[in-house]
Amino acid sequence: MTTLTRARIAYQIRRDFRATNNRAGLLHDLLVVKTDPIVRADLLRHLAAHHRTLARLHRIAFPDNPCDRDGAAAHEATADLLRMLCDVEFAAAMGAGLNAPTTPLGMQVWMVLRAMAATPDLTARMRLLEQLYTTVYPTVGASAAETIACLPAPGMVGWRTLDEHPEGVGIAAYRAQRVPA
């Protein structure tokens, strides 16, 4: 393989990474306005799939950089957490129980996820993200935990309302620019 061919492949992988990251951002923005648990579950499922793709592309695009391997692991952990939250939203919508986890991370957060799934109110479920964040932070690290801490819902950033958030007014203005009504 020639150097030019390698450069073209690297460029295409990085371009795919940026495009996937942008699509994930759009899904994240849709969570700002959606309250229906079924719709939120679907958005979280797609968002998890995008983070899994980002992890795979990260490993390919930056194979020799240890910092970027950490980035791939963070995307993988984020995908796992988002998938668990997808199951929580679906269980909340159906009024059904949550299936028992099969992964070590799932077992670690089982009690919080079960409490979230049993909570029909979206605002109350979002409040439980603080417990989830505290539980997963030592295991998954700052990047994946912060993604959960900043998960949006109408009028909320993570477990805080816009009024409670230190940058609430700025966040509301930013959302108004990005998310069409």
Domain ranges, ordered by start, for the chain = 3-178
Burial class of 123 by CB neighbour count within 10 A (0 to 12, 13 to 18, 19+)? middle
What is the mean pLDDT for each group of 10 consecutive residues in the chain (181 residues)? Answer: 78 90 90 91 96 90 68 92 95 88 91 93 90 92 87 79 61 50 48
Q: How many residues does the chain have?
A: 181
pLDDT score for 2: 76
pLDDT score for 154: 84
pTM score, two decimals? 0.84
pLDDT score for 68: 59
pLDDT score for 41: 95
What is the distance between the alpha carbons of residues 113 and 49, in angstroms, rounded to a whole number? 20
Burial class of 64 by CB neighbour count within 10 A (0 to 12, 13 to 18, 19+)? exposed
pLDDT score for 66: 65
Q: What are phi and psi of 170, to 5 degrees?
A: -65, -40
Residue labelled with tokens 């992890």: 55
C-alpha separations of 62 from 22, 103, 111, 127, 155 in Å: 19, 27, 36, 36, 37
Helix axes 66-94, 110-117, angle to 10 degrees: 40
What is the distance between the alpha carbons of residues 150 and 143, in angstroms, rounded to a whole number? 11
pLDDT score for 163: 66
